[in-house]
Structure 1
Amino acid sequence: MKRKIRVQIGSSDIDLELVSRDENTYLVEDDRLGTLRVKILSVEGDKVELAINDRKYTVLLDRSSRITYVNGIPIKLLITKPHEHLTVKKSVSATKEFSSKVKVISAPLSGRIVSIKVRENDHIRKGDVILVIESMKMLNEIRSPHSGIVLKINVSEGDIVKKGQELLIIG
């Protein structure tokens, strides 16, 4: 089942060879990296948790900017020869473990984003002001309910948001 995959990370191309697949585990070979055992632990929308040679990675895919976040670090990742889609059999325990590491902060009320106080990759603490929403002519400071690193900001200043809409992701 050998299949070639070209992965572009930043300005570097890596030619991988998919050697075998068993359930959610793939064996991939590279001349420089050797043989890698890649296990898909969970997939939830654009969030993927995987283990490469038993080391865990959390990957967030931002399809609009083609930036991929690996453990909170942004990298440009482009698969230029996808010969096979990776399918995953969902595991309830892996999904629960994954979702406990990455937190989604949603809008507590509807309104307009007046200002965003954080940037991607900022370290924030529980209680820090992350953005300001204007609702019914009042300015409301939205504070982070969790500590972590800002992985992705899903809104811009001036955006109209609804209650419950995803604002940002921290990990």
Structure 2
Amino acid sequence: MSERQTQKTDDVDLNVDVDVGIDESSPPEENTSGGLARSLYGRTLGRVLSSRGLVVATVLSVVFSALFSLIPFLGLLGSLLGLGGAGFAYGAGSSESRYLELLLAGGAVGGGSALLGNLLVITFGSTVLLGLGLLGGAGAAVVGHYFGRDFRRGLTRDIN
């Protein structure tokens, strides 16, 4: 018992001086090799847009769009349903919101799907299908992400 009491009463000196060699007199120089585009990305879009999230959203959008396009008689609607499914899957599987990434990926994949699926119509006629693919893909991906996040929130919330 006396040994335990001596452990509690021993004073420990936690003051440690460390010299890391930082000169505080001059400010650090900024790296200007990236140029204006990199500095704008770092200040504005770097906080909102994640490049890793954009890659994941694009891959999910392409895979789900291709899978849903295989359903007979759906065409562009199958692609849009696939983009909604990709947004749902990303929202259900990710703890962070990635609306901007899915908006960009869904618009690009939806527009590309409309362009490739209806190339003759878009080339020689109206571009309404291209616009429908762009806006529909972006909207379907964002709405799917919203419902996926809501689904995840419902699964992870405590039941009272």
Same fold (TM over 0.5): no
With normalisation by structure 2, the TM-score equals 0.23
Greater RCO structure (CA 8 Å; 6+ sep): 2
Q: TM-score, normalised by structure 1?
A: 0.22
